[in-house]
Structure 1
Amino acid sequence: MVLAAQIVAGIAAALHVMFFVFESVLWTKPSIFPRFGVASQEQADTTKAMAYNQGFYNLFLAIGTVIGIALLGGAGGPDLVIAGKAMMLLTTGSMALAGIVLLTTGRHYLRAAAIQFIPAAAGFVLTLFA
């Protein structure tokens, strides 16, 4: 169960690194901003600072998840395993809840919300029972 939790949480973390790249690095590229419901270059330029900040939130969640995965592996002893489990629950839970919040912004975000929610929620549940 621990390995399954680590793998699924790792997928959620990888997605959040991708979100970071899209939001904080590539936001104003015409191939990227429409994925987020931004209709024009002008809107992308206007929302660039917000997206930059949001991207870093996603990166920090991914980093926390990766640290939790490493600690849950058990190499540092039982106290670090507990810390890793707590960290993974916090980060994957935050990711899953953010997916729910995204869904509340409109039905047209269903696919994006599912991409964010499903791996994170699965990682949370698997970690809870690991």
Structure 2
Amino acid sequence: MIGILALVFAGLAALLHVVIFLMESVLWTRPRVWKRFGVADQGAADITRPMAYNQGFYNLFLAVGAGIGVVLWSVAGTGDVAGRTLLLFSLGSMVAAALVLTTSGAKYFRPAVIQGTLPAVGFVLTLSA
């Protein structure tokens, strides 16, 4: 049961990071998106677009790692070392990124919690399974 919960949380964390990728790398110039990230205006969004594009791909790569880990662990069962290892690395990296975000200022605490909660729970459950 713990293994199934770990996979669910890992899958949700991967999905969240795909959404973040879409916002940062595909939809960044839309006011609804850049305002969500605290960008002041369209000019600032245009200037920060290359940075957001790159950052979005980091999120996508973490999501892909977690997704592959979920698949490997699901197919082979809880005895699959590669799937668990990939999950722990990907989820741990997501949690670490969320912790780094908290060092950027108090206004980033809420986004860090949003970004880090699902992978943190998935990480703990994966260790426990």
Alignment TM class, shorter chain as reference: over 0.9
Q: CA deviation at 1:65?
A: 0.4
Could you tell me which residue of structure 1 aligns to residue 81 of structure 2?
82
Once the two structures are superposed, residues 18-55 of structure 1 have per-residue CA deviations (whole angstroms, 9 ceiling, x without a partner) of 00000000001011001111111111000101100110
C-alpha distance 123-77 of structure 1, shift in aligned 2 (>3 A): closer
- TM-score, scaled to structure 2: 0.95
Which 5+ residue runs of structure 2 have no aligned equivalent? none
Could you tell me which residue of structure 2 aligns to residue 48 of structure 1?
49
Q: Aligned partners of 1:88, 1:77: CA distance in 2, in Å? A: 12
Q: Aligned partners of 1:109, 1:26: CA distance in 2, in Å? A: 21
Moved over 4 A (4+): none
Q: CA deviation at 1:74?
A: 3.9
Q: Aligned partners of 2:36, 2:123: CA distance in 1, in Å? A: 26
Which 5+ residue runs of structure 1 have no aligned equivalent? none
- TM-score, scaled to structure 1: 0.94
Query: Alignment length, in residue pairs?
Result: 128
Could you tell me which residue of structure 1 aligns to residue 67 of structure 2?
66
Q: Aligned partners of 1:4, 1:76: CA distance in 2, in Å? A: 13
Is 2:25 aligned against 1:24?
A: yes
Once the two structures are superposed, residues 85-125 of structure 1 have per-residue CA deviations (whole angstroms, 9 ceiling, x without a partner) of 00000000000110111111011111110001111111111
How many percent of aligned residue pairs carry the same amino acid? 53
